[in-house]
Structure 1
């Protein structure tokens, strides 16, 4: 039994506008466009890129997100092209106290932070999204939980961050970065898992709780009425979606 990582979900005041920004920046296609949800996905159907889903949210963003995306670059020139393109599409530069670093910190049109990385060898084969980064007080503990949840092995464990990635070596990394106040920040981004067709979602929810997932009260409203809403060991809410029927 297992689940897989399906998408990164953005709460957005204007879902279509934010989805269009990310679609144009990443070169991905809008695959779902409904009033209650817009989805953007990589064009390669055989790849393991995680989709981006945009859901309506009336409340404006009020704090730094716990989750952000890191974008890859093939060269320093490509990094600058990515930055210039993002700015032309409506992004803005953001100072989070990062100081003099080789990556560039930006925010999308609704203020969701993301980084355009300098070239790094470990991200040469990830596609446009190098990593999904989660702020955490305990990188290894959260990596262990999400490894069990996504079925991805832990690939690195260092003092201030840990990471997991699909065993196929395709798609983005899921990385966990030590940030001391991570658990106190609200995030407009969350992760969605999906059950495999042969597996019982109720059994998978029980398995996730046994791995450390926490029950949620009202929590975030799932876009799918049959979804199960839980939280990881650091209270990052996520949804477990039922398998998609053929």
Structure 2
């Protein structure tokens, strides 16, 4: 048994409006499974597909008050391409932001809802528009152990400062855990969603995740078909139904 990372969930003041921004930013298609939910996927894929980590935007009245612990890095093939992306996203409503990054080769931006993301400088021409999904953490080695066992994603690198995973097919974006001194406060506005394979049992997979160190979160709802957990550092994630 195993899961795989299939999408990130992002809270939004207006899911349709923010979905329009990200669809233009990534060149992806928009769909919806119901009011208050906007789904973004690359054109032509059959979800779930290891070549992409899709995005679900879910409407939420809660305001954004702190830096997100999960963000995406957008891929560029050169410094010139990076500048083109930054200019285009600025026209779409993104802004450059200072989060204390100092003199770095990537550009830190925020979408119209204030969600941080980075535009990288070069050497990313095989991941698709999202080069990596980045998670702030206190202990990359701990996160590497949990997430490499919770999913079938392959661990490519682990140090005291970062851990890098990628899909079992070695395609699509990377999953990057970066050491950060900032403590987690409140519910993450952006979180990971994992899905078991079609023939796997969801309850068995939930038990396996708990044995690895995940903690179940009771939302007090019986109308949802997914399960909510936190990883060993308290980051929320959802276990979706097999598929």
Where on the TM-score scale, by shorter chain, does this alignment land: which range? over 0.9
Partner of 1:25: 25
Q: Distance in 2 between matches of 1:186 and 1:63?
A: 10
Q: Distance in 2 between matches of 1:186 and 1:81?
A: 34
How many residue pairs were aligned? 240
CA-based RMSD of the aligned residues comes to 1.8
Q: Distance in 1 between matches of 2:146 and 2:204?
A: 17
Is residue 79 of structure 1 aligned with residue 82 of structure 2? yes
SS at match of 1:7: strand
Structure 2 gaps, min length 5:
none
Partner of 1:5: 5
Partner of 1:152: 153
Output one character per residue of 1:119-142: Cα deviation in whole Å (capped at 9) or x when no partner. 03xx33101000000000001111
The answer to whether the 8 Å contact 2:6/2:50 transfers is no
Higher mean C-alpha deviation, range 143-152 or range 44-53: 44-53
Output one character per residue of 1:117-173: Cα deviation in whole Å (capped at 9) or x when no partner. 0103xx331010000000000011112211122211110112311110013221000
Q: Distance in 2 between matches of 1:47 and 1:233?
A: 25
The verdict on how the C-alpha distance between 1:47 and 1:31 changes in structure 2, with shifts beyond 3 A counting, is farther
The answer to whether the 8 Å contact 1:64/1:185 transfers is no
- Aligned with 2:55 (options 32, 52, 56): 52
Higher mean C-alpha deviation, range 55-64 or range 24-33: 24-33
Partner of 1:101: 104
SS at match of 2:184: helix
Displaced runs of 4 or more, over 3 A = none
What TM-score do the two structures reach when normalised by structure 1? 0.92
The answer to whether the 8 Å contact 1:50/1:172 transfers is yes
Partner of 1:237: 236
Q: Distance in 2 between matches of 1:39 and 1:226?
A: 17
The answer to whether the 8 Å contact 2:18/2:112 transfers is yes
Matches within 5 A, 1:78-227: 78-120=81-123, 123-184=124-185, 186-218=187-219, 225-227=224-226
Q: Distance in 2 between matches of 1:218 and 1:115?
A: 32
Structure 1 gaps, min length 5:
none
The answer to whether the 8 Å contact 1:66/1:186 transfers is no
Higher mean C-alpha deviation, range 104-113 or range 37-46: 37-46
What TM-score do the two structures reach when normalised by structure 2? 0.93
